[in-house]
Every structure is written in C-alpha cells, then in structure tokens.
Chain A
C-alpha cells in the first residue's frame, strides 16, 4: 500500500509526537485493523529513521574534524574536578614538553608545506588518497544561458553568518554587512570604516551569502564541501583573492531552482548546496556571464567597499544601528 501525501504528513507528525491524543488514537485504531496501512506506516518510520541515522553520521564526521582541529590548536580548557581535587587533566596527545615540541614542529612543517603548495600549485605529498583524488576527472558542465545572476560578495574568513534571514546578508568575517532596504537596493556597509556602497538588485527575490573557510590542502587540490551552510574550499585558494572582486553567485533558473557558483581565478565552478563530502569542484565549460550590471553598482576598489559618492539609499539611523557585530543576533532569535 502506498501512503498518500496527506497520510505521509500525518505520520511525520505522529513520529514527531505532534499529533493530538485524538489523532493518535484514530491513527492507531486504523493501524490495528488495517495491516496494509500499519505496514506502510512502519515503512515510513524506517525511512525516517534511516534518514536521521544518515544525518547523524554526517554530523559525527564533522565533529571528528572539529575535535582534531581544537586539539591541534591547543585550545582545550583543562578540567579540575571540584570535589576530589585530583588536578587538571592534560590535553590529549600531549604527554609532556618533549611531545608538545614534536607536535608543534610537525604542525609548523605542515603549515610550511601547505604554503609552498599554495604558491607553487604543486601536490607535495604522495599517498593513496592523493592518487585517488588526482585520478578523478572533473567533467566540465554546461549551464544553460537562461540564468539570472545575483552577485554576492564574500570574505572567505571565519565569521558570523546571518544568511538565513531573507533581506539580510552578512559578508564573511562580519566586517561587511549588506542589507536590502527596499525591493531594489542592497546597501553594503563596511563596519570598520562606516563606508557604504550600494548594489541594485532590481527584480531579484532572494539574497543570500555563505560563510567560507579555506584549507590550503595538498591532498585535495580544487576540492570543496558544504556542511551546515558553510563552504569549505580545499586547495590553493587565497583569502585575499576571494574578496569582493572574486565572488559567489546565486543563480535562479527558469525552473525556479537556485544554484551556487564560485568564480575564482577566471574560472567558474558549480557548488552543490549540500555536499558534505570533500568533492572535486565542478568546472563549468562556459563561464557564466559576469553580473557586470550588478557589480558596477558596488562602489569598490581593490576588494574594498569605498564610500559612495552619491547619496546612499540608506538612512543614517539604519546604517549606524546595523553595523555588524559578530555576536549580535537578529531580533527573531533573541526572543
């Protein structure tokens, strides 16, 4: 038996525990007398549980990376039990000063190798993973020309992200903020200098951005992953080049689908919005047209937002109040 769409929604609510007691009783009565229905419900439950297990697995893969990162960075706080007072626990993997020095030396060597790789664009390590990755071919993709473009400038630095909020755009490390003030204008504010630029969005309906992190990775040249709405770039990407002059583009096709593209080094790559595994960047054979009409409206130079010579379309109160602060939450979340 196939569940219809309404049944499917009902069972989702049943599994989430959001049905009323009357609805639960009705559903369970039906399951008790209708075996086919009961089986269909069990199937649905298994599908949901499997999806959740998959999500959990993906999250845990990400947590392994975070744990490694935190331990390597040496930012684990010690723990002193308050009752038995048995002393602070040493950080894992750091058995003593000698080992600490070795760890530091290894990290330093790794950083030097990554920097050398970044500038020479050579793969400097060898191994199974590298060979596997290198042997993968990146198939060129052709994108139909019926795309509309919205340019979203980013700073590829760790930062706070407000992109979930329609009409609000946070750029990279929080230094820049862009906010749509009416249907056609996006105002970009440099919170350090207070300078303002504007971007004409004309008929576009959705503006978004994505936080981005670079790992100059010798094993994964030109790779990426997207996890929890953060773009991770692996390879010889340079932060200073991923500024306002190089950018991500959301495009909206005629079918209403939204895709993300990365322009970097004169090439355009397609970014899957959910790509939790490190994957090769997909190069587009035909670069998308530059959104010149949009980019020219941002008053910029050398990747920095310059003060607009014309009257900004944002009022003074707006620009003062909205200078971005990494820790500031939108009012919706402060409740």
Chain B
C-alpha cells in the first residue's frame, strides 16, 4: 500500500480521490475512533458509521480547500468526537462522558452541522436522479459534489470548451427540475 507520510500530502491525495489515501486513513485512524465510540456507549456498528461519516466530512472539507492547522489525527478525532457527541445527545437517556479522553477540542472548526433533507430534496434524490440521463448526472455530480472546475469538466467529458460545459450543466439542472416536478 502506498504510504503518504506527510499529512498535507495525504490531504492532497484525498482531494484527488486516491483510494490508497482513504485506505491509509482507515488503516491508521479507524481504531482511534472505534475506541472513542465504544468507550462511550457505542457499538461496533456505531463506530463504523461514525468513522465513515468522519471520513466523508474530511473528503468534503478537502474539496472546499481544507487547510490543516493541526495533525490529521487530531482533526479526525475532533470531528468524530463531535459527531458521536451529537448522536449521543439525540439518544434520550444516554450518559455522555468524554472526560476519559486526552484531547478535548471545542474548536468550532470541528463542529459539523447538517441540515435534514427537505421533502423536495428527497423527491429529487429518489425520483429525479434515477431518471436523469447518465451524462447529465455525471456532469452535475462532478460540479456539485466533486467540486471540479468547469474547465476540467469540459476537458474530462469532451465538451468543446468551458462555456459549452456550463451551458450543458444549466440544461441538465433544468431537466432534473422538470423530472422532479413531475
């Protein structure tokens, strides 16, 4: 397995979607988060879910240009801790005690806030995207989730130029709205 010894390099590879980088994150830090969750009333399944969510947040933050001001280990720990804390809080009657842990991080940077999907978003997810053409879906995902630049998308997908890709993206959005609207 490729080993990325430097945290910044690891972040770069995660941003690129390099599977080896994700594998390294799992290999090195999964047990840390597992320990955190299991020692605080969680199950193996909870640990797995929380780590998955943490890595997802890491990926999304890197796509938004995350710059680490601590080690990746500390970052993952803090985010996982906040995610698990939030989940525990939502479970009625669970006792929450993080005093056992050596790193207590209250920095707002690590707080993950998620909005619950609206009914319309669920409709788009369940019906709109399944009926949208593969090429449109690919284009929209590249732009909105993978945060690719339009010029790169044009290059990747064989559009004439950036303007052409932009216009296709606009048409795809209209099409998705039309499908979801019924």
Q: Which of B1, B18, B145 contacts A55 (CB 8 A)?
A: B145
* CA of A63 to CA of B52, assembled, Å: 7
Determine if A70 and B121 form an interchain contact, defined as CB atoms under 8 angstroms apart.
Answer: no
A273's nearest neighbour on chain B, judged by CB, is B138
Mask: chain B, 10-53; 1 = CB below 8 Å from A; 0 = not: 00100011111011001111111011001000001001100111
Determine if A92 and B44 form an interchain contact, defined as CB atoms under 8 angstroms apart.
Answer: yes
- Interface-located stretch among B88-96, B105-113, B154-162: B154-162
* Sample (17) of A-B pairs whose CB atoms are under 8 Å apart: A5-B170, A46-B118, A46-B120, A46-B124, A50-B129, A59-B56, A66-B19, A75-B27, A76-B26, A76-B31, A79-B35, A81-B100, A81-B101, A89-B38, A161-B16, A228-B17, A327-B2
Rounded to whole Å, the gap between the CB of B132 and the closest CB of chain A is: 10
B9 interface residue per 8 A CB criterion = yes
B49's nearest neighbour on chain A, judged by CB, is A60
Rounded to whole Å, the gap between the CB of B81 and the closest CB of chain A is: 13
B174 interface residue per 8 A CB criterion = yes
A contact residues around B31 at 8 Å (CB): 76-79, 89, 91
B67 interface residue per 8 A CB criterion = no
Rounded to whole Å, the gap between the CB of B82 and the closest CB of chain A is: 18
Q: Which of A50, A76, A84 contacts B124 (CB 8 A)?
A: A50
Determine if B52 and A60 form an interchain contact, defined as CB atoms under 8 angstroms apart.
Answer: yes
A contact residues around B156 at 8 Å (CB): 258, 273
Rounded to whole Å, the gap between the CB of B39 and the closest CB of chain A is: 8
Determine if A46 and B155 form an interchain contact, defined as CB atoms under 8 angstroms apart.
Answer: no
* CA of A51 to CA of B120, assembled, Å: 12
B4 interface residue per 8 A CB criterion = yes
A contact residues around B120 at 8 Å (CB): 43, 46
B contact residues around A2 at 8 Å (CB): 174
Rounded to whole Å, the gap between the CB of B80 and the closest CB of chain A is: 12
Rounded to whole Å, the gap between the CB of B123 and the closest CB of chain A is: 8
> Given known contacts A89-B34, A257-B158, is B177 in contact with A47 (CB within 8 Å)?
yes
Q: Which residues of B (82-140) have their CB < 8 Å from a CB of A? A: 100-102, 115, 117-118, 120-122, 124-125, 128-129, 134, 137-138, 140
B contact residues around A308 at 8 Å (CB): none
A129 interface residue per 8 A CB criterion = no
Q: Which residues of A (1-46) have their CB < 8 Å from a CB of B? A: 2, 5, 8-9, 43-44, 46
B contact residues around A50 at 8 Å (CB): 117, 121-122, 124-125, 128-129, 180
* CA of A210 to CA of B70, assembled, Å: 33
Rounded to whole Å, the gap between the CB of B37 and the closest CB of chain A is: 11
Determine if A59 and B59 form an interchain contact, defined as CB atoms under 8 angstroms apart.
Answer: yes
Determine if B56 and A82 form an interchain contact, defined as CB atoms under 8 angstroms apart.
Answer: no
* CA of A274 to CA of B174, assembled, Å: 21
* CA of A79 to CA of B39, assembled, Å: 13
B69 interface residue per 8 A CB criterion = no
* CA of A63 to CA of B125, assembled, Å: 20
A contact residues around B118 at 8 Å (CB): 46, 49
Q: Which of B23, B125, B145, B158 contacts A70 (CB 8 A)?
A: B23
Determine if B117 and A47 form an interchain contact, defined as CB atoms under 8 angstroms apart.
Answer: no
Determine if A55 and B144 form an interchain contact, defined as CB atoms under 8 angstroms apart.
Answer: yes
* CA of A9 to CA of B162, assembled, Å: 13
A130 interface residue per 8 A CB criterion = no
A contact residues around B137 at 8 Å (CB): 274
* CA of A64 to CA of B138, assembled, Å: 22
Rounded to whole Å, the gap between the CB of A303 and the closest CB of chain B is: 23
